[in-house]
A and B are shown apart, each in its own frame.
Chain A
Amino acid sequence: MSKKYALLVDLRRCVGCTSCQVSCKMENAVPIGQFRSKVDIADTGEYPKPKRYFFPKICNQCDEAPCIMPCPVKGATYKREDGVVMVNRDLCIGCGRCVGACPYGARFMHPHIPVKNDPKPYAKNVHEVAGKKAKDLRVVDKCDYCSHRLAEGIEEPACVRNCVGKARTFGDLNDSDSSVSKLKASVKTTYWHPEYGTKPRTVFIAPDEKVFSAADSQINK
C-alpha cells in the first residue's frame, strides 16, 4: 500500500516561536518576503482579557486540490500517490493560474527561478504567457512536505524536525501505528476552512477555532 502522508499541527502546543517558518527558509532557500510556511500572529481582545493567536500556516496538500485543475500544462502541478502536491519546475510555464486558484495562498511565483519549459506552444490559450519567453517567466513554488527529505527516506519535514513546542507530527495515515494516525484518532481535529471542500491533508488540533478567523489571511498575501 502506498503511503498517505499527513501533517498534524497541535495548536495546544504551539508557542508562537516561528521556528517552522525560519527552518523552512533554511531548508528550502525560500526568498525574503515569501513563504512556504508562515506563522500568523494576531492580538485581539481588551484588557484584562486579551488574546493572542498563533496560526502556523502551510500548504494543505488537499485531496481535492483546487490548484491542479487550472494548470494548462499537464503534469506541471500534480498530486503524488502519497498525497503530496508537487510542482514540476521543468514543466511549469509560470502562468500563475494555480497561485490565484489556491484559497490558502500557499503558492507564489519564485522570483529567482526562471521557467525552463518553452511557453510558446501554450501561448494561444494561456494569455498570461503570450509573447513571453521562458527566461522572462518564473516558476511557481510551494511547500512539498520537504519532498527532497522524503526521497532520502527522512520522513520528517524541516518544520517538524525543529518544532520547538513539539506541536507538529508528520507521518503515514495508512499506518495505523504511526504517531500521526494515533494522535488523529485520539483527539478531535479540524481543518483550515473545511467548507471549501478541498479535503486537506494538513490537520489541526485547535481548542479555540477562532484562531482560523482571527488570523485569517493567506500565507502569501
Chain B
Amino acid sequence: MQVSRRVFLKYAGALSGLAALNKTGLVSLKHLSPAEAEAMQTSMGKYEVKYTADAMCPAECGMEMWVKDGKIAKIYGNKAVPMNDGIACAKGASGQQLVYSPYRLKYPMIRVGERGSGKFKRVTWDEAIDHIGLKLTDIKKKYGAESVIMDCGDVTDRDQYYRLFFAYGTPNTTEHGAICDVPRRHGPRLMVGGKRWEPDIMRPQLVRQSDGSLKKDYTYKSKLIVYNGWNPFVATRIFYENRGTVGAKVENGCKVVVIDPSYSNTATAADMWLAPRAGTDGDLFGAMLRYILENDNQNDPNKKYIDWSFKKYSTGWDDFEAAFKSWWGKKDPINGLSYFSLDWTADRTGLSKAQIEELSHLFGITKPAALVWGMQSPGHHYNGYCASIIGVALNVITGNFDAPGGVIDCELVKADKGGSATGKQFKKKKVKRNIDGKEVEGEVEHLHMDLFGSKYPAAWDDAVADYPNAFKEGVDVRYGPFRGHHYPIKAYILRTGNTVLTGSAPWKWKDAILAKDAKGNYKLELNVFIDTLNLESALYADVILPEASYAERQSLSDIYPSHQVIYNRDAVIKPLHECKKPTDIMNMLAKKLNELGDSDLKAADFWEKYKSEEDFVNEMLAPAPGRVNVGTPLPYPKYPEGYKLIGTPDSLEKGEVTIDNAKKVVKGKSVTVEWLRNNHGVAIWPMSWRRYKKHNADEPNKAFPNTSTKLIEFKFDWKDGGKRYGGYKSYNEKIEKAGGEVPLGLKEIGFTKFPETFFWFETKWNPHTNPEYKKYAKDYPFQLICGRVHHSMSGTQMIPWLGEIKTEGTWQPMNKEFEADVPEAMPMGDEPMKSMKKKFKANTYSVGSIWMNTDDAKKLGLKSGDLAVVENPLKKSTKGKVFVSGGIRPGIIKIGFATGGRFSPGMGPAYKSKDYTPSHNDLVDPDVLSPIMGFPGYADMIVKVKKA
C-alpha cells in the first residue's frame, strides 16, 4: 500500500487544528450489518411490478411501473384498467424524465429577497412548517380563518388539503377544475346534476349478460360523434376517446364530425371538418336545435329527428321550447336576422347554410350519436353556458342521452370517493362574526368568498381568476347569514398549480401578489407554493414546500369513465430528496397549528387518525362505488332497482351484503387499498345504459339523474304544489333573502336573477356577434383562440423526450440554436459518457408557436418561422414564431395554453426560448369573467399581427 501520487498540501497543518473537524460522525451514510448488506445485494437488479395511476396529466390513466433498485425502470399502461386498456401515451411513458429531473424541487425553502426576486434559502421542514403555522395562527386571530385560500390544483390529492383547511376554518378551498372548463360543464350540472358529457366509446365495458354472467365487451355501438371544440387526440382528459374514436370508425363505421376553427389532430380522423369563427358554438348549437324543431316529421323516416319519449323522463320542456322560440321573433342588432335561423347562423359563424343544414340533419337522423363540446369552445367563452345548455337539450331530445353508443354524463356514473376524509363536515361548524357592531352566527361555509360573495354566488366551482381582485380589495359577503361582512385575503396556498402563469393574465396576478399597503407590507401576507416542480408561481412564493411526485404518493384515480371504475394510485417509489406526501404535510401542519393553540385541529382528526396515507385512502374508498342499481341491463338483477351500491365487486357479486330497505342501500365489503392491490390495482362494477328509466318499463326510476326531481330538468327554478325546484333555486333564494340585491356578474348581462329556463346572451370581444366590439374589427382582424398541447403543459415542458414531438400548429420545432447540457461520449475516456454542453441546431426542438392561415400570412408578408408580434386592444402583446398552414380558418390565430414565454428557469429548454415563444395568457382580458360563475374568457380576444 503506497500513497505516492500526492502533492504536499501546504495548509494541511492549518486544518488539523480546526474544531469543526472534530465532527467525525457520518451525516448521510450508514454502516450496514453483514445481513443487511447481503439482503441489499440479492435484491439489487430485480424488477418489481406496481400498479398506479398517472397524475402527470388529468387523464390519470392506469399504469404499470416496473421498479428496480428503488427506481422506476419501465412504464406501461395497466391492462386491467378500461380507461386506457393497457396503453400509455408519450407523456405517460416519459415519466422518469420528470420524476428524476435534476430541476425538481428538493428541499423546503424560504424567500429571502423581495417577492419575485427568486432569492431563497434552504430550511428544514420544521422551520418551514413553523413559519407557515405562526403566520396562519396570526392571520386567523387578526382577520378570521376565511382570509386564507387553499388552492389544491390536482384533483387526486386535494382531499388532505381540503380536510386541513376546512378544519382550520376556511371554506375557501379550490382545485384545478375551477380554471379548466367551468362553462362547458354548466348545462349538465344544471339539467341532470352531472358534469362532463362524453361519447359512449370507453371499451372494454363490463356488461351483465342475459345468463347472469359478466362480459368484458369491446363492441362499439356509436354511429356518429360530433366533437365541438374538443380535441381528445391532443388534449386527452378523457383518454379512451383516442382509441375509441378510431375504433368506432374502423369497427362500426361510425362517422366523425369535428367542429374547430383549427384542423386539430382529432380532425384528421373526421369525415367532416367544420371551421366556424371562434366563440360561435352556441350559435351553431342553437341553429341545430331550431332546425330539428322546425323540420322534425315523425311520419317521414328521413326526418324523424326527435325521440319524444324523452318527455317522460324530463320536466319543463314546454317552457324551455317556448323561451327558445321567443328568440326566433327577435332581430339580432348586428345583422338584422332572426335568431338561430340558418341565415343568422351562417352570418355569425362564417359557415355556409348548406353546411349548417347538413350537420343538423346528420345529427338529427343518425342514431346512436353523441354531440360533445370541449374546454376549447364553450369552456373558454363568456357565454359558454348557453352552448352547454343547448348541447344537453340536443342530446336529450334526439334520444341519445345515456343510450348505447350515445352520450354519457360521466360524473353521474363514475364511482364515488372521498367521503368523510375530505372533511366537509368541518364546514358545518358554527362560527360568529361581528358585523356593524352586531354578533352574527352562521356556519363556516357561509363565509365562502364566491358562494356568498357579491359577484358570483352560483360559482360552484370557485372563481379563481377573481383571486387577484380579492388579494387587493378583499371579499364582500352579500348573501347568507354573514351579509355585510367584509374580510381581506391574507394567505394564498397554492399546490400543484401555476396560477401566476395560467390563472388569467400573468400581469394581473403578479400585480396582486406584489401589492403593498400604506406601511409597505405585502397585502397578501403569506404566499406558499407546494409542488414537485419549480413553476413560475414559485418565484413569487414566501415558502416553497417540495411535495412528493405522483409516483411517490398514494391516492385514487379521478377519471371520467362510462361506468364505475376506481383504481389505486399507489406510491411506486419512496419520495425523492426531502419531498413529503400530502398526508404527511397535512399532519405536520395540523399538529403545528394545534401546538400553537388552535384547538380546531385535533389529534383525533389528523395525526392520530391517519398514521399513513393508506389509512387516508381507505377512508376515501369507503363510499365506493356509491351509485344506484339502475339501467339496462340492470347491473345487479338480484338487488332492488334504484338502491345505492357500496362495496367490492366480488362481495356484491357473491351476495355478501346487507340490504337496508329504509335507506335503500346495498352494502357489501368496503373497497380497501389491500383489495385493490390484490386485483391489479382496480375495481370495476357493471355498465348499463338508459339509467334514467326502469329496466323493465318505460317510466322514470326516480333514482337517476341527480336533480331536484330526479328527472332531466329543462326548467331551472320553479314552484309546484308549494315546493320549489330547479338547479338555480337556491341561488335565487339567496338573492331574494338579500332584498333582491343582484350579483355583479348578473348585473353585467342585465339579468336581475338566475333565469328560470332557456337564456341567451352574447360573448365578449367578438365583433361578429357582439355590437359593442364591432368598432375594433378593422384594426384587430384576428380572433385569438387557444388549446392544450397534451405533452407540453405548464409542468411537463422540461422533459427532453417531449421536446422531440411536434403538435398541430402550436408546438413546432422552431427553436433558435441553443446550448444545453446533455450527456455525450468522451472519445478518450473509460466512462461511456459525460455531460457536455451540446448545441441544439435551429429547428430541431419543439417550442410554442403561433398558428395562422396561409393567405393571412401572405398578406402580412409572413412565412413559417418568422417572428411576429400579436397585440390586443388592451395594448398587451406577445411575441412568437408563426407556423403557417392551410389547417386553420382565415382570421383565426391559435396559441397553445402555457406553451411559451416560460420565465421560470426550472423549465429547462422551454426557459431558453422564452423570448421568442408566445404566451397566450398575456393577451387574456382579466376583467372578462363569465357572468354566472366568474370563469376567465380565455378564448374571447381579438388581435392584430405584425412582423417583429
A26 and B247 in contact (CB under 8 A), knowing A17-B233, A165-B242? no
Using a CB-CB cutoff of 8 Å, which residues 56-108 of chain B contact chain A?
74-77, 85-94, 96
B623-672 contacts to A, CB under 8 A, are none
Within 8 A of A (CB), among B223-263: 233, 242-243, 245-247, 249-250, 263
Q: How far is the CB of B821 from chain A (nearest CB, A)?
A: 11
Is the beta-carbon distance between B265 and A113 smaller than 8 angstroms? no
A41 vs B809: C-alpha distance when bound (angstroms):
11
- Please determine whether A50 and B833 come into contact, CB atoms closer than 8 angstroms: no
A153 at interface by CB-CB < 8 Å: no
Smallest CB separation, B399 vs chain A (Å) = 29
Contact at A12–B246, with CB atoms within 8 Å?
yes
The stretch of B132-140, B872-880, B885-893, B916-924 in contact with A is B885-893
Cα distance A161–B76 in the bound complex, in angstroms: 7
- Known contacts A32-B822, A48-B275, A112-B824; decide if A166 and B87 are in contact (CB<8 Å): yes
- Asked if residues B825 and A47 are in contact (CB atoms below 8 Å), the reply is no
User: Could you tell me the distance between the alpha carbons of A44 and B804 in the complex, rounded to whole angstroms?
Assistant: 20
Cβ < 8 Å to B, chain A residues 1-45: 10, 12-19, 21-23, 25-27, 31-33, 39, 41, 43-45
Number of A-B contacts (CB under 8 A): 146
> CA–CA, A44 to B854, complex, Å?
11
**Is A163 interfacial (CB-CB < 8 Å)?**
yes
Least CB distance from B101 to A in Å reads 14
A34 to B822 Cα, complex, angstroms = 13
**Distance of A16 Cα from B808 Cα, bound (Å):** 10
- B265 / chain A contacts, CB cutoff of 8 Å: 15-17, 52
Q: Mark A104-142, 1 if CB is under 8 A from B, else 0.
A: 000000011110000000000000000000011010000
- B239 and chain A: residue at smallest CB distance: A164
Q: Which of the residues B76, B90, B263 comes within 8 Å of A21, measured between beta carbons?
A: B90
Contact of A162 among B87, B233, B269, B827 (CB under 8 A): B87
A188 CB to nearest chain B CB (Å): 13
Give Cα A16 to B89, complex, Å.
11
User: Does A50 lie within 8 Å of B886, measured CB to CB?
Assistant: yes
Partner of A47, one of B77, B87, B94, B854: B854
A22–B885 contact, CB under 8 A?
no
- The reply to whether A162 and B93 contact each other, CB–CB distance below 8 Å, is yes
Kindly provide the distance from the CB of A199 to the nearest chain B CB, expressed in whole angstroms. 27
Contact B888 A19 (CB under 8 A): no
What residues of A have a CB within 8 angstroms of the CB of B267 in the complex?
A: 52
> Is A47 a contact partner of B890 (Cβ separation < 8 A)?
yes
- Whether the Cβ atoms of B74 and A27 lie closer than 8 Å is yes
* Chain B residue at minimum C-beta to C-beta distance from A44: B886
Please determine whether A164 and B93 come into contact, CB atoms closer than 8 angstroms: no
With a CB–CB cut-off of 8 A, which chain B residues contact A114? Answer: 825, 832
Asked whether B515 is an interface residue with its Cβ less than 8 Å from the other chain, the reply is: no
Q: Does A195 contact B (CB under 8 A)?
A: no
Highest count of chain B CB atoms <10 Å: which of A41, A54, A166? A166
A158 in the interface (beta carbon within 8 A): yes
* Contact (Cβ within 8 A) A164 B886: no
A12 touches B822 (CB 8 A): no
> 1/0 per residue B867-911: CB within 8 Å of A?
000000000000000000111111000000000000000000000
Q: Does chain A have a CB within 8 A of B853? A: yes
Tell me if A47 and B855 are in contact (CB < 8 A): yes
**Interface status of B844 (Cβ within 8 A of chain A):** yes
Asked if B693 is at the interface of the complex by the 8 Å CB criterion, the answer is no
Q: Which of A13, A18, A27, A31 contacts B246 (CB 8 A)?
A: A13
Contacts of B273 in A (CB 8 A): 48
Residue count of chain B within 8 Å CB distance of chain A: 57
A17-B90 contact, Cβ under 8 Å, with A46-B854, A50-B886, A112-B832: yes
In the complex, whether A80 has a CB less than 8 A from a CB of chain B is no
Closest chain B CB from A68 CB (angstroms): 26
Chain A: minimal CB distance from B522 (Å): 42
Among A12, A50, A136, contact of B885 (Cβ-Cβ < 8 Å): A50
> Which residues from A are CB-within-8-Å of B827?
135-136
* Bound CA span A165–B265, Å: 13
User: A19 to B89, Cβ gap below 8 A?
Assistant: yes
Q: Is B177 an interface residue (CB 8 A)?
A: no
Interface string of A134-175 (1 = CB under 8 A from B): 011010000000000000000000100111111100000000
| Residue B768 is within 8 A (CB to CB) of chain A in the complex | no
Give every chain A residue within 8 A of B93 (Cβ-Cβ). 19, 22-23, 25-26, 158, 162
Given A47-B889, A165-B242: A16 and B268 within 8 A (CB)? yes
User: Measured between C-beta atoms, what is the minimum distance from A160 to chain B in Å?
Assistant: 10
Q: Which residues of B contact A10 (CB under 8 A)?
A: 250
B943 to chain A, nearest CB (A): 19
- In the complex, the chain B residue whose C-beta lies closest to that of A43 is B885
Interface status of B604 (Cβ within 8 A of chain A): no
Q: Do A166 and B268 contact each other (CB < 8 Å), given the known contacts A49-B886, A112-B823?
A: no
Residue of B nearest to A13 (CB): B246
B802 contacts A by Cβ under 8 Å? yes
Nearest residue (CB) in B for A12 is B250
Q: How far is the CB of B545 from chain A (nearest CB, A)?
A: 29
Across the interface, which residues of B come within 8 angstroms of A13, CB to CB?
243, 246-247, 250
- Cα A17 to Cα B242 in complex, Å, equals 9
Write out the residue numbers on chain B whose beta carbons fall within 8 Å of the beta carbon of A48. 273, 275, 886, 889
Query: B241 — nearest CB in chain A belongs to which residue?
Result: A15
B180 within 8 A of A: no
Smallest distance from the beta carbon of B94 to chain A beta carbons, Å?
5
Partner of B804, one of A27, A32, A54, A162: A32
Q: Say which residue of A12, A21, A45 sits within 8 Å of B805 (CB atoms).
A: A21
Could you say which of B268, B833, B844 has the most chain A C-beta atoms within 10 Å of its C-beta? B268
Residues in A whose Cβ lies below 8 Å from that of B92: 19, 162
Chain A residues near B249: list those with CB within 8 A: 12
Residue B801 CB within 8 A of the other chain:
yes
Chain A residues positioned under 8 Å from B885 (CB to CB) = 43, 50
**Residues of B758-809 whose CB lies within 8 A of A:** 790, 800-802, 804-806, 809
Q: Which residues of B lie under 8 Å from residue A166 when comparing CB positions?
A: 85, 87, 243, 246-247
Q: How far is the CA of A51 from the CA of B87 in the complex (A)?
A: 27
Q: Which residues of A have CB within 8 Å of B804?
A: 21, 32-33
Q: Is the CB of A18 within 8 A of B242?
A: no
**Nearest chain B CB to A147's CB is how many angstroms away?**
16
Q: CA A68 – CA B74 in complex, angstroms? A: 31
The CB with the most chain B CB atoms within 10 A, among A21, A113, A165, is that of A165
Residue in contact with A23 in the complex, picked from B88, B242, B250, CB distance below 8 Å: B88
Does B828 count as interface, using CB distance less than 8 angstroms? yes
Is there an interface contact between B243 and A165, defined as CB atoms closer than 8 Å?
yes
Q: What's the Cα separation between A23 and B93 when bound, in Å?
A: 5
Shortest CB distance A33–B (Å):
7
The docked-state distance in angstroms from the alpha carbon of A39 to that of B807 is: 11
Contact of B89 among A17, A32, A47, A51 (CB under 8 A): A17
- Knowing A13-B247, A17-B233, A162-B76 are in contact, say whether A45-B886 is a contact too (CB < 8 A): yes
How many Å lie between the Cα of A118 and that of B94 in the bound state? 36
Is B853 a contact partner of A47 (Cβ separation < 8 A)? yes
Contact check, A15 vs B75: say whether CB atoms are below 8 A apart: no
Shortest distance from the beta carbon of B896 to any chain A beta carbon, whole Å? 15
- Shortest Cβ distance from B887 into A: residue: A50
Given A19-B92, A44-B886, A158-B93, 14 other A-B residues pairs in contact with their CB atoms under 8 A: A10-B250, A13-B246, A18-B90, A18-B805, A19-B88, A22-B91, A31-B823, A47-B854, A47-B889, A47-B890, A54-B268, A162-B93, A164-B87, A164-B242
Sampled A-B contacts (20; CB under 8 Å): A12-B250, A13-B250, A15-B242, A15-B243, A15-B265, A18-B90, A22-B90, A22-B93, A25-B93, A26-B801, A31-B823, A32-B822, A43-B886, A43-B887, A46-B854, A46-B886, A113-B825, A135-B828, A161-B76, A161-B77
The 6 closest A-B pairs by CB, nearest first: A46-B886, A50-B887, A22-B90, A47-B886, A50-B886, A13-B246
Residues of chain B whose beta carbon lies under 8 Å from any beta carbon of chain A? 74-77, 85-94, 96, 233, 242-243, 245-247, 249-250, 263, 265, 267-269, 273, 275, 790, 800-802, 804-806, 809, 822-825, 827-828, 830, 832-833, 844, 853-855, 885-890
